[in-house]
Structure 1
Amino acid sequence: MNKQFRSGGAALAVTASLLGGGLSGCTKDLDRTPFYDLNTESVYKDPANYIQVLAKCYAGFNLSGNSGSPDVFAGQGKDEGETSYLRAYWYLQELTTDEAVVAWNSGPLQELNRTTWSSSNDLINNSYTRIFYEVTLCNEFIRETTDDKLSSRGIAGADADNARLDRAEARFLRALAYYHALDMYANVPFVTEADAPSKNLPKQIKRADLFAYVESELKAIEPLLKAARQGPYGRADQGAAQTLLAKLYLNAEVYTGTARYTDCLTYCNKVIGGGYALSQTSPATAANPKPASGYAKLFMADNNVTGASEIIFPITSDGLVSQVYGGTTYLVHAQVGDSMVAKNFGINGGWFGNRTRKNLPLLFAGGASSADSRAMFFTPGHTLEIKDLTASTNGYATTKWKNVTSTGAPGSDPQGIFVDTDFPMFRLGDVYLMYAEAVQRGGQGGTPAQALTYVNALRDRAYNNSGTGTAGHVTAADVASPDFILAERGRELYWEGSRRTDLIRFGKFTSASYLWPWKGGVAAGQGVSANLNIFPLPSTDIVANPTLTQNTGY
């Protein structure tokens, strides 16, 4: 299937071949114009090119190069797939937590497994550099699509209107990248379209100031984007901006010291009122007597169709067009190994990599064999306990990500390498749980009764309830209990790239009060220094930009 974005019949070619080349560093190049095969003026004088330039900005969240070598990291001998935005982000958000480990015997990966990283960890550098490459791409597009620029090039009417919408989407993509920088690195280099390309080193922005910037950008572009679910699938709309604002406000107390739960509820309510609906299990038919559950459909090769009602903003993937060893290609392959049958996942083989720490299956009533359909684990030949981090049979596998459609067909790549499954960066199930948490934390604009309704809607799906069924239902008192929301977020959102942020918000990421295997580098787990709540700025960037101050404790 083809999941390129479409606008007016013209495909957003995710390879963005019009814009070849890349950047060789981060802070040294953050303020620099990207290399183009054509010069900037010749590209932007033709409005037909704008959608292709915007495609490069979207593709930056998944792809890692056009010709078999990383665009940002060319000449550095790095694994191309490992440098891609989504894979690098997932490493830091999941392998550092109670949800996942990887069995590969790589020093930087094992540092993430063990919560023992330093500023020289190459994987921390990968994510950081990829974020700022994305910022650079977006800055250039935003800089070249101002009303003055459009007017000077004679672009008017519908072409100018389309360019303004494209510009608003690029501003959202930049805000998303800066949100990830805010969340993971806190105090970072900062450049916008207002900073003309030069050799000047970017100045550092404080975390609270970056929060204010991301907030102001999202609020400014919200009315400029298409209404929720009114644009092409895969492109940012008001629902995406509102969801990112809700996330920003949910974590505001961590980022700034000031709680913003009422604002979180304001934007959760906007999203929920935007026409989204939870993905549900389809009725059984003669052709498909055992249909995939509504939850499972969110992580399958046709989730662009079967999960579209719930997915607010995806990182799209296409096994024929967007071929990369990162993204969901990584997530599907890396979870498969040992006695797991690769063809059941729509791929040609597993990579014997990712496994769960015991905390994850134990979140479910009944563990790995729970009646909760979200408990998607593979246990034969695997142990619950992890005695050896490099043994692929230590820790249960998960079967959550698949390159198979909801009707059982394999993905589009005939070789079974690259996958079609989109990554739901934002989805309605997450917003329901943000609403419930914000209510429990004292936010105004929501009620405990409505929070309970949203939580039980997720559990109705999880337990395959129909009609008046109540299997798996919880009470208002359950939802209000101290650990329920964090546990429910684990059950609903595991391996979707949010766990580190959630654990920090609940004060459990570094604390000795909550442990998981190999936290702090010991098998039983131990508390670690609170400075690890924020990742270090890469040591290479500190050397390259003397104006930067390293985060505390590194």
Structure 2
Amino acid sequence: MKLKNILVVVGLIAASFASCTDIEEQVYDKYPANEFYGSPEGADVALAGVYARVGGNWDGVGYAGADNGWYDLNSMSADEQVIPHRNTGDWQLDFARLYLHSWLPTDLIVNNTWNWLYSAVFSANLAVEQLQNANAEDSKIAEAKVLRAFFYYLLMDDYGNVPFYTENNITVDELPQISRAELYDFVITELEDNVETLATTKGGTYYGRFNKWAGYALLAKVYLNAEVYKGTAQWQKSLDAITKLEEGGFSLHSGATSDTNPLGYEYYELFGDVMPEDETILAMYVTENIVSRNIYTVRSLSGPHAQEVFGFSGWNGTIVPTAYYNAYADNDIRKAQFKVGEQPGNISYSLEVSSLDNPGAAPYAGVRNMKFYPVAPLDGAGASNDFPIFRYADFMLMKAECYVRLNNAAAAKPLVDAVRVRAGLAALAVAPTLEDIYNERAFELNWEGHRRQDMIRFGTFLDANDYRGVSEAYRTLFPIPTSALDANQNLEQNPGY
């Protein structure tokens, strides 16, 4: 069993950050609640209940790893991936509707993401209450509050004006709706008040947890998108938060060739099992069939291809749109993740995809992606690749973006060049433009859940593509689900829906 952060055990809570091999029985229900949650072990149990909400699983639960949830909503509405309906009748239309910007307030993935995030807020509220009532360590209370801020940040990013509560003693029909700007202020205040108090431990029992450096990473992300959320840019504040993050001592992982990595480069260790500590800031812990799962390669590959390579059938689902794939240079090591043409299993993936929805794509149309090359334990339901929520290359490019927006492109150049050179490309001939940084983020961070947010910030999200015309402006927000409106008459739908 892998030693990582929080082992979530389904059933009676028995979680420990210290070791997943210590099986000495602890009879926690004999302790008064305040005494229990005030202890280091009890505080970690309270936090475990919140971290359990992060990992992806069936029915749209979690940040990433499974399907029909937050990851699909934010990735397939961008330009980096889509599951086309097949002309053989395979695959629901929800994924194509996301790519075509024709999603509805009743759509499954829109609903699942909303329900997951509010269940996560509920868990975070509970943990904050338990820890505060027990006078737990300040760092543990801060961790629960930063986790809650993380979930509200995701809600603010996707849905805009949303219901807000910090105590669980309120019914759904009474939840007040606050503006996106008000929620932005809350998230910023929670982070500014608590990030410095977080633990500074890296790895070990803090693998996959919000330590101080992950807290500053989240703060930098919120400030980076401040103009979208509140109308006022905060490039310098994002830059300042990244500078604090860098005190954690992060660097780019090696991009050297590898005789052991299936994709041929050490770079792809960033998307395997235990993620490298040099570049990983915050990871989502996965052990398939125990805690979460990672379906992304098995969902992309066809049945015969996956059967030949891994010994189980693939789902023949997700593709990389042609224009996105063609934008990569042939000598870019990041192009090794893509599969097109003849493949094991006697199948061939075609580059072009004529239709996403009606009549749909041919069975083997579309480029496939193996960025998350499956690691054991694995089966036809997924693999055990952990998922990078925050890694340093992202923040190097964010820092470069802030510099350019603050009219200091010269300071941005070494940051962009370092990411490019790691990928086997030449350094830029001149200082980067915003377009250079936007493109580099597309090459570096594809399939990691950042693309929709990037496209909105850079003003490209509504642009026409090969399958649809220009989208209407209201599509930069998702609708509040119809089920949520039915449950709470206080809520107002986002304009356009």
TM-score of the superposition, structure 1-length normalised? 0.78
CA distance 1:107–1:183, shift in 2 (3 Å): same
1:44 deviation in Å? 5.1
Q: What's the counterpart of residue 266 of structure 2?
A: 294
- Alpha-carbon contact 2:298-2:380 (below 8 Å) kept: no
> More displaced, 51-60 or 330-339?
330-339
- The 5 A counterparts of 1:387-406 are 387-389=354-356, 390-391=360-361, 392-404=363-375
- For each residue in 1:354-408, what CA deviation from the matched residue of structure 2 results, as whole angstroms up to 9, or x when unmatched? 001112112212xxxx11011121001222221132434222111211123xxxx
Question: Root-mean-square deviation (CA), in Å?
Answer: 2.6
Answer whether contact 1:429 1:458 (CA < 8 A) is retained.
yes
**Residue matched to 1:167:** 141
Task: Please tell me whether residue 49 in structure 1 is matched to residue 42 in structure 2.
Answer: yes
Does residue 1:374 correspond to 2:357, yes or no? no
1:150 aligned to 2:134?
yes
* Aligned counterpart for 1:531 among listed residues 450, 458, 474: 474
Distance 1:289 1:150 in 2: 47
What is the match of residue 17 of structure 1? 11
**Does the CA-based 8 Å contact 1:312-1:426 persist in structure 2?**
yes
C-alpha distance in structure 1 between counterparts of 2:105 and 2:195, whole Å? 36
**Within 5 Å, which residues of 2 pair with 1:150-229?**
150=134, 160-161=136-137, 164-193=138-167, 196-198=169-171, 201-227=174-200, 229=202
Shift of 1:196: 3.2
C-alpha distance in 1 between matches for 2:338 and 2:232: 39
Question: Which of the residues 367, 388, 401 maps onto 1:437?
Answer: 401
The equivalent position to 1:337 in structure 2, one of 302, 306, 319, is: 302
* Contact kept? 2:397, 2:415, Cα under 8 Å: yes
Q: Secondary structure at the match of 1:359?
A: helix
What are structure 1's unaligned runs of at least 5 residues?
A: 6-11, 21-37, 65-79, 152-159, 405-410, 464-470, 519-524
Correspondences of 1:197-276 after superposition (within 5 Å): 197-198=170-171, 201-227=174-200, 229=202, 232-276=206-250
Partners of 2:412 and 2:95 in 1: how far apart? Answer: 38
State the distance in 2 between where 1:39 and 1:543 align. Answer: 39
Deviations 1:79-130 (A, max 9, x none): x344444241111111112111103531322321321012111210100110
TM-superposed deviation, 1:166 = 2.5
- Report the equivalent of 1:76: none
Which runs of structure 2 are paired with 1:417-428 in the superposition (5 Å)? 417-428=381-392
Asked if 2 retains the 8 angstrom alpha-carbon contact of 1:318 and 1:418, the reply is no
Query: Following the alignment from structure 2 to structure 1, what is the Cα–Cα distance between the partners of residues 147 and 174?
Result: 23
Alpha-carbon separation, structure 1, partners of 2:353 and 2:201: 44
Equivalenced residue count is 461
Supply the AA of the counterpart residue of 1:296: Y
2:285 & 2:402 partners in 1: Cα distance? 29
Following superposition, the deviation at residue 192 of structure 1 comes to 0.6
Q: Percent identity?
A: 29
In structure 2, relative to structure 1, the CA distance for the partners of 1:43 and 1:544 (3 Å cut) is same
Amino acid in the other structure paired with 2:349:
H
- CA change 1:124–1:347 in 2 (3 A) is farther
Give yes or no for contact 2:172–2:488 (8 Å, CA) kept in 1: no
Matches within 5 A, 1:319-338: 319=288, 321-322=290-291, 324=292, 327-328=293-294, 330-337=295-302
- Note if contact 2:4-2:207 (Cα within 8 Å) is conserved in structure 1: no
Do the aligned residues in 1 keep the contact of 2:257 with 2:266 (CA within 8 Å)? no
Task: Name the residue aligned to 2:452.
Answer: 500
Q: Is the 8 A contact 1:281 1:292 kept in 2?
A: no
2:85 matched to 1:116? Answer: no
> Does the alignment pair 1:551 with 2:494?
yes
Give yes or no for contact 1:226–1:237 (8 Å, CA) kept in 2: yes
> Is the 2:59–2:112 contact (alpha carbons within 8 Å) kept by the matching residues of 1?
no
Q: TM-score with structure 2 length normalisation?
A: 0.86
Name the counterpart of 2:377.
Answer: 412
Note if contact 1:272-1:431 (Cα within 8 Å) is conserved in structure 2.
no
Residue 452 of structure 1 aligns with an amino acid whose one-letter code is K
1:126: which partner in 2?
Answer: 112
Q: Is the 8 A contact 2:82 2:319 kept in 1?
A: yes
Give 1:67-146 correspondences, 5 Å limit: 80-86=58-64, 87=67, 88-104=69-85, 105-146=91-132
Match of 2:441 among 489, 492, 507: 489
**Which stretch of structure 1 is more off in the superposition, 199-208 or 415-424?**
415-424
Alpha-carbon distance between aligned partners in 2 of 1:261 and 1:294, rounded to the nearest angstrom? 33
SS at match of 1:181: helix
* 1:45 positional shift: 4.1
**Structure 2 unpaired stretches of 5+:** 15-27, 86-90, 342-347
CA distance in structure 2 between the aligned counterparts of 1:222 and 1:347, rounded to whole angstroms: 45
Q: Where does residue 408 of structure 1 map in the other structure?
A: none
The equivalent of 1:462 in structure 2 is 423
- Where 2:389 maps in the other structure, the secondary structure is strand
User: What is the match of residue 412 of structure 2?
Assistant: 451
Residue in 1 that maps onto 2:25: none
Separation in 1, partners of 2:248, 2:47: 25
Query: 1: CA distance between counterparts of 2:439 and 2:30?
Result: 50
Structure 1 position 175, deviation (Å):
1.0
What amino acid sits opposite 2:239 in the alignment? L
Q: Which residue of 1 aligns with 2:315?
A: 351
Measured after TM superposition, the shift of residue 182 of structure 1 is 0.7
Q: Describe the shift of the 1:320–1:41 C-alpha distance in structure 2 as closer, same or farther (beyond 3 A).
A: same
